[in-house]
Amino acid sequence: MSLEKISSQLKHSGTEQKLPPVELWDPPYCGEMNLVIKKDGSWYHNGTVFKRQKLVKLFASVLKKERDDYFLVTPVEKIKITVEDVPFILSQWSWGQEGEYGDMHLATNLGDEFIFGENHPLHIADNGCLYVTVRRNLLAKVHRNVFYQWADLAKERITPQGTELILPCGGHELVLGRF
């Protein structure tokens, strides 16, 4: 399977306008592709970085995670790719119209935009890295600059388990860490 063939299928299926329902698709497995999403969020095919952001966004729209594996999925085929950590980087954030500690608007390196909350929770990995659910079961790693900005605004709270660093937002709390 070639990138050109997948790109053509996606363009003809109209997926450039909105996210396709990949969770409903269960096409046959067609093998692996030498496509890697690096830890920094950059995409590589056969060792060469993708230079066209539009193409990366197109492929990201059909990205699906099953257990620990990632696939590009169309209605007729499913191709395994490699993801070094997670497919997205949480690169931007801002307070909503309510101002500080109101709704927190988040954005990934590929332009996914959403509001932190129940559908987009924060996860703390065993190694201390922070991740946010973007869509379906796909995660974005919180970029270091975003974490430092949050840590600067966060408040300390003493609990029986120790001290937590929390950031209230939109009726929720981001627990940035415990020590």
Domains defined along the chain, listed by start: 3-83 (3.10.540.10), 88-178 (2.30.270.10)
Instruction: For residue 87, give the nearest of 132, 55, 45, 124 by alpha carbon.
Output: 132
What are 130-170's pLDDT values in tens digits? 999 999 899 999 999 999 999 999 999 999 988 999 998 88
Q: Are 11 and 73 in contact (CB under 8 A)?
A: no
Q: Average pLDDT of 24-28?
A: 94
More reliable by pLDDT, 77 or 175:
77
Mean pLDDT, the chain, integer: 89
Q: How far is CA 46 from CA 36, 42, 53, 55, 81, in A?
A: 8, 13, 17, 15, 11
- Of 105 and 97, the one with more pLDDT: 105
Residues 6+ apart with CB under 8 A from 163: 156, 157, 178, 179
At residue 12 the predicted structure's pLDDT band, cuts being 50, 70 and 90, is low
Q: What is the CA radius of gyration of the chain?
A: 18
pLDDT tier, 15 (very low <50, low <70, confident <90, very high otherwise): very low
The predicted pLDDT at position 105 comes to 94
Percent of the chain with pLDDT over 70: 91
